[in-house]
Amino acid sequence: MDLHEFKAKRLLAGYGIASPEGRVAVSADEAMVAAKELGGAVYVKAQIHAGDRFTAGGVRKAETPVEARMAANELLGQKLVTPQTGPQGHAVKRVLVEAAVRAQKEIYLAIMVDAIGASLVVLGGKGGSGVEQHTGSAGLETLPLSLKGENKPGDIEDFCKRLGVTGAEAEKLAQTVKNMHSAFIGLDASLIEINPLAFNEKGEAVALDAKIVLDDNALFRHPDLAGLREEDEIDEIELKAQQHQINFMQMDGDIGVVVNGAGLGLATLDMLRAAGGTPANFMDIRTTAKSLDIAQGIGLVLDNPKVKVILVNVYGGGMQPCDTIIEGLGIAFRRKGRVLPLVLRVTGNNEDIARIRIESFGLPKTLSPDMWQAATRAAAIAHGKA
């Protein structure tokens, strides 16, 4: 779950990370009032889920409240196109009016999951616009972090020295990294990024911009954070799927995909492509999904008029046996009343029961012993060759 900048900064403030004083505005008049309250020069910043807003004109400096009103008027209701939004851009529905800070030094900081090392890693380098495009490059310093929130003495301080920061500033930078580390673990985040962390004229460390991505799968531990989701900015189909314990993304193809497990889902898409087919969706049925939840997810596939065939690739585990998913399949077909050919590869816990259940549905189907045969068969049906 991506958070807007102003929400990310509010959360980080709870972990001792300061940011400039600011106000959120949804109209040009509100932006002008906010600038008056803040006094002095301000920045009017478009709140969208994408980086490099400055280059795209989404961050405007305003010396007076009138200029702040003009900047907000130009941004609100418009679509901002950045390298991260794609050509379609993102609509600007609110702006953050924030007191200007005269930065003496700017640092890029980010903490993310290192999948290869099975740990967390902090990245650092020179801050500023465009850095996001080079994340992970050789120009960034890195330091593995403990998953438990503790590190070897001196590790973080040495990391700060490698960033060219010394003295009192190095102490503040080290504390910021430690606070980000605590926030990452405490919030169950998958990414926390500050770009830039600026040192002002007083030597204080201030987050001029911040991004937080929360792990959706951990939101059950944080009901207060779940309310931060901007539901009007989420695809309606994806949101409905998430409400029923399913990760779902609509695609442009004609082969519907029903899979449990993100890795298996991605492998299924790859095999369909290799077989000459085009998937209509990505699906990851979570282990917490019940048969009625699964029926809702499969209903989204059936609602897509482009879909010509459905490939069901299921591996039954202890928490979610095969027959639970097949039961949801039968419910979805009965509800929707749409008959489509099915290609099924079902293996694992309760697969025999699942095969008996599928026989009772009376649907056109092909049972395949492995993934590749299932993918090639589905592609052939979609192409009208089977």
368-377 pLDDT tens trace? 999 999 999 9
Token output for 70: 């003009």
DSSP string, 202-244: T--EEESSEEEEE-GGGGGG-HHHHTT--GGGS-HHHHHHHTT
We report the CATH number of the domain holding residue 80 as 3.30.1490.20
251 and 171 co-located in one domain: no
224 and 142 co-located in one domain: yes
Strand partners, 365: 342
Report how many domains make up the chain.
Answer: 3
We report the CATH number of the domain holding residue 247 as 3.40.50.261
Q: Final residue of a domain: which of 184, 201, 234?
A: 234
To 5 degrees, how large is the angle CA 82–CA 64–CA 107? 45
Q: Final residue of a domain: which of 53, 68, 100?
A: 100
Judge whether 314 and 258 are in contact, CB under 8 Å: yes
When the pLDDT of each residue in the chain is averaged and rounded to a whole number, the result is 89
pLDDT in tens, 191-203: 999 999 999 988 8
Please, what is the angle between helix 322-336 and helix 351-359, to 10°?
20
Furthest-apart CA pair in the chain: how many Å? 75
239 and 199 co-located in one domain: no
**Would the pLDDT of 52 be above 90?**
no
**Would the pLDDT of 131 be above 70?**
no
223 and 362 co-located in one domain: no
pLDDT in tens, 272-299: 999 999 999 999 999 889 999 999 999 9
359 and 374 co-located in one domain: yes
pLDDT at residue 135 in the model: 47
Q: Which element (helix H / strand E) includes 330? A: helix 322-336
112 and 171 co-located in one domain: yes
77 and 160 co-located in one domain: no
373 and 239 co-located in one domain: yes
Q: Which element (helix H / strand E) includes 48? A: none
Q: Final residue of a domain: which of 234, 262, 289?
A: 234
pLDDT at residue 128 in the model: 75
We report the CATH number of the domain holding residue 121 as 3.30.470.20
pLDDT at residue 231 in the model: 54
**Would the pLDDT of 34 be above 80?**
yes
Peptide bond into 196 cis (omega under 30): yes
15 and 25 co-located in one domain: no
83 and 130 co-located in one domain: no
Domain coverage including residue 91: 21-100
Higher-pLDDT residue of 287, 69: 69
Q: How confident is the model at residue 1 (pLDDT cuts 50, 70, 90)?
A: confident
251 and 338 co-located in one domain: yes
pLDDT in tens, 322-344: 999 999 999 999 999 999 999 99
